[in-house]
Chains A and B, each alone.
Chain A
């Protein structure tokens, strides 16, 4: 078990077309026992970061420390780290038992009986004790995934690394394995770093989420923090499904200190609190989540805008409405009772406490609802 610390870690790949910066000055402190998920679109540097920690990729600049010990120059075998690969990387000619025991045999001086006892124990934990004498070629994808995870568990390493371990499974099995991996983490309490491009996986599994884009750290926070208080427009867009609606708006201040956000078919009156927080007139990006938009003809005119219904998707628990506002698509997650006809014009509103305002140039978040961006994060209870 260990604490992992990244200190200004940079990775530059030399390519024939010039250097490519994969990870740029990443600093991160992961306390012992935490389950951290790295999430971001492909090419954002999340896997590279993981591979640097494992020792499979050299570190161009900066330092990675394991329990305050720098590991930059340490070979992978000396780091006491176990990794589960997306392709599982099982040895095809070895049985499940041999696959799982391989690391213990090489890196420890345990007796064969002791190795076997631990392999069986890990296999029981993963529910694969019946498969121990089979070879990977005769196992299903889900079973192979379990063997790969079991192979990592059996070593009881200081840190677990998972590189998109569930991407090759079907949706149902993926959800099941999510729960199972979370259960294993809480049983073993080993520091875990998990890489995925699936924001839902990140939200459901993580103690803390690390969001990366273009090799740069965007935000680190608990799932609630990154959802309710995204640091910038990228995080706001990436986290949450369907993703947040964005409108380019201008703020006009009235004489009484309140204001109006207007632009792209929207006009929305905001209180003087919001005006005060953003700091007066200017160009902003308004962000509002589909689940915070309401179809409501009784709302006050100043806080309503009109939209034309484009498509209605019925998914059972909710209805997804795709509206057209000022020529742009606007997604609304509505309760099942709200099912307008396509082509109908509806009134859309939202609560001021649910809005997010971003600087249009830097895309940095300025306002989340009523509260200042530097205030304590709100909990869901307060939100409700």
Chain B
């Protein structure tokens, strides 16, 4: 066959190109251009309002030598790991309990159990603030009244703020894992449980041999998405501790905000954002690799 040049093919398919042109233009304008510009910005000293001048790798050097960034990076990893897995387990537990309910009851119970996920993160922050605050919070007062002991400051003392942030964030988002797990559990054919019961498998055994294998794929989907979102989680932790006391609970998301809008260092904020992307993408690549192994489970 004759070799066709690029121009030949463009002339042949011009109607097709015409149709994708508007989408391509909008994507370039609203998506690719900002990304490329943002990446370029990390090589400048841009502040709010100005384009800045080219400074090479200065921002990245600042990042790598900054103690607060080191701390925020480590704490973000711990926060993401803690919340993601807590969400996974609580969500699985909720889904399993819901699957035991009769249809009719199940829908209402699901709506109630999943409701934190549908609440605005800021509202969630307010709830936990009213719950944990040492001055007016419900939990410290309850403990003091019932047991007669004073409680630590849940949002300020020792390891408590870390625990509080992870627990509060897990509370807000476990519903996501719950919804996906519930759908997966409903989809498991009932006959497989019945066959296992006839084969002599008890309840725990059926859970291990029938339910769990069907939950591998949903688990990976939840892990991948929740990891990315938990890396970027901002509203609720910001409201509860604001990264404090001092900078003791500084997450990368809060650090990015402060760099951009308190210190007005937009270029550095964007550089921080690049580090967050690296975390999410590394996790995503890891999960995708696992999914490929998982697909081999069925052949």
A interface residues with partner B (beta carbon < 8 Å): 54-56, 75-77, 79, 81-83, 85-93, 102-103, 106-107, 134-138, 151, 155
B200, A103: Cβ atoms under 8 Å? yes
Q: How far apart are A234's CB and chain B's nearest CB, in angstroms?
A: 30
Q: How far apart are B190's CB and chain A's nearest CB, in angstroms?
A: 9
B18 is an interface residue with CB less than 8 A from chain A: no
A56, B194: Cβ atoms under 8 Å? yes
B191 is an interface residue with CB less than 8 A from chain A: yes
A83, B192: Cβ atoms under 8 Å? no
10 closest A-B pairs by CB: A103-B199, A89-B191, A107-B200, A106-B200, A137-B298, A93-B213, A77-B200, A89-B195, A85-B191, A76-B197
B198, A92: Cβ atoms under 8 Å? no
A85 nearest in chain B by CB position: B191
A93, B297: Cβ atoms under 8 Å? yes
Given A91-B210, A106-B201, output 18 extra A-B contacts at Cβ < 8 Å.
A55-B197, A55-B198, A56-B194, A76-B198, A77-B198, A77-B200, A86-B191, A89-B194, A90-B192, A91-B192, A91-B196, A92-B214, A102-B201, A106-B199, A106-B205, A135-B297, A137-B299, A138-B298
A163 nearest in chain B by CB position: B191
B189 is an interface residue with CB less than 8 A from chain A: yes
- Residues of B within 8 Å of A77, CB to CB, are 197-202
- Residues of A within 8 Å of B192, CB to CB, are 89-91
- Residues of A within 8 Å of B158, CB to CB, are none
**What separation, in Å, do the CA atoms of A307 and B146 have in the docked complex?**
95
- B198 contact from A83, A135, A137, Cβ within 8 A: A83
Q: How far apart are B200's CB and chain A's nearest CB, in angstroms?
A: 4
Q: Mark B207-236, 1 if CB is under 8 A from A, else 0.
A: 001100110000000000000000000000
A56 nearest in chain B by CB position: B194
- A54 contact from B198, B202, B299, Cβ within 8 A: B198
Q: How far apart are A52's CB and chain B's nearest CB, in angstroms?
A: 13
Q: How far apart are A54's CB and chain B's nearest CB, in angstroms?
A: 6
- B195 contact from A75, A83, A107, A134, Cβ within 8 A: A83
**What separation, in Å, do the CA atoms of A83 and B193 have in the docked complex?**
12
B191 nearest in chain A by CB position: A89
Q: How far apart are A150's CB and chain B's nearest CB, in angstroms?
A: 13
- Residues of B within 8 Å of A75, CB to CB, are 197
**What separation, in Å, do the CA atoms of A102 and B198 have in the docked complex?**
11
Q: Mark B164-199, 1 if CB is under 8 A from A, else 0.
A: 000000000000000000000000010110111111
- A91 contact from B197, B198, B202, B213, Cβ within 8 A: B213
6 contacts between A and B (CB under 8 A): A77-B200, A83-B195, A86-B191, A91-B192, A92-B298, A93-B298
Q: How far apart are A81's CB and chain B's nearest CB, in angstroms?
A: 6
**What separation, in Å, do the CA atoms of A91 and B214 have in the docked complex?**
10
Q: Is the interface of B mostly helix, strand, loop or mixed?
A: helix
A135, B191: Cβ atoms under 8 Å? no
B210, A138: Cβ atoms under 8 Å? no
A16 nearest in chain B by CB position: B104
B189, A89: Cβ atoms under 8 Å? yes
Q: Mark B270-299, 1 if CB is under 8 A from A, else 0.
A: 000000000000000000000000000111
Q: How far apart are B67's CB and chain A's nearest CB, in angstroms?
A: 48
- Residues of A within 8 Å of B213, CB to CB, are 91-93
- Residues of B within 8 Å of A103, CB to CB, are 198-200
Q: How far apart are B185's CB and chain A's nearest CB, in angstroms?
A: 15
A82 nearest in chain B by CB position: B198
Q: How far apart are A290's CB and chain B's nearest CB, in angstroms?
A: 38
A54 nearest in chain B by CB position: B198
Q: How far apart are B210's CB and chain A's nearest CB, in angstroms?
A: 7
- Residues of A within 8 Å of B299, CB to CB, are 134-135, 137-138
**What separation, in Å, do the CA atoms of A243 and B228 have in the docked complex?**
64
- Residues of A within 8 Å of B198, CB to CB, are 54-56, 76-77, 79, 81-83, 103
**What separation, in Å, do the CA atoms of A83 and B195 have in the docked complex?**
7
A87, B199: Cβ atoms under 8 Å? no
B201 nearest in chain A by CB position: A106
**What separation, in Å, do the CA atoms of A44 and B297 have in the docked complex?**
39
Q: How far apart are B205's CB and chain A's nearest CB, in angstroms?
A: 7
**What separation, in Å, do the CA atoms of A383 and B278 have in the docked complex?**
86
Q: How far apart are A243's CB and chain B's nearest CB, in angstroms?
A: 32
Q: Give the most central of B195, B201, B213: most A CB within 10 Å.
A: B195
- Residues of A within 8 Å of B200, CB to CB, are 77, 103, 106-107
**What separation, in Å, do the CA atoms of A75 and B191 have in the docked complex?**
16
- Residues of A within 8 Å of B194, CB to CB, are 54, 56, 76, 83, 85, 89
Q: Give the most central of B198, B202, B210: most A CB within 10 Å.
A: B198
**What separation, in Å, do the CA atoms of A54 and B190 have in the docked complex?**
14
Q: How far apart are B292's CB and chain A's nearest CB, in angstroms?
A: 16
**What separation, in Å, do the CA atoms of A75 and B205 have in the docked complex?**
15
Given contacts A76-B198, A103-B200, contact A91 B209 (CB under 8 A): yes
- Residues of B within 8 Å of A87, CB to CB, are 189, 191
A85, B195: Cβ atoms under 8 Å? yes
**What separation, in Å, do the CA atoms of A51 and B189 have in the docked complex?**
16
- Residues of A within 8 Å of B189, CB to CB, are 87, 89
- Residues of B within 8 Å of A88, CB to CB, are 191
- Residues of A within 8 Å of B195, CB to CB, are 83, 85, 89, 91, 151
- Residues of A within 8 Å of B202, CB to CB, are 77
- Residues of B within 8 Å of A106, CB to CB, are 199-201, 205
- Residues of B within 8 Å of A56, CB to CB, are 194, 197-198
Q: Give the most central of B189, B194, B200, B298: most A CB within 10 Å.
A: B200
Q: How far apart are B108's CB and chain A's nearest CB, in angstroms?
A: 15
- Residues of B within 8 Å of A92, CB to CB, are 213-214, 297-298
A135, B199: Cβ atoms under 8 Å? no
- Residues of A within 8 Å of B191, CB to CB, are 85-89
**What separation, in Å, do the CA atoms of A75 and B198 have in the docked complex?**
9
**What separation, in Å, do the CA atoms of A79 and B198 have in the docked complex?**
8
**What separation, in Å, do the CA atoms of A88 and B214 have in the docked complex?**
17
- Residues of A within 8 Å of B210, CB to CB, are 91
A103 nearest in chain B by CB position: B199
Q: Give the most central of A89, A137, A138: most B CB within 10 Å.
A: A89
Given contacts A83-B194, A85-B194, A89-B189, contact A107 B199 (CB under 8 A): yes
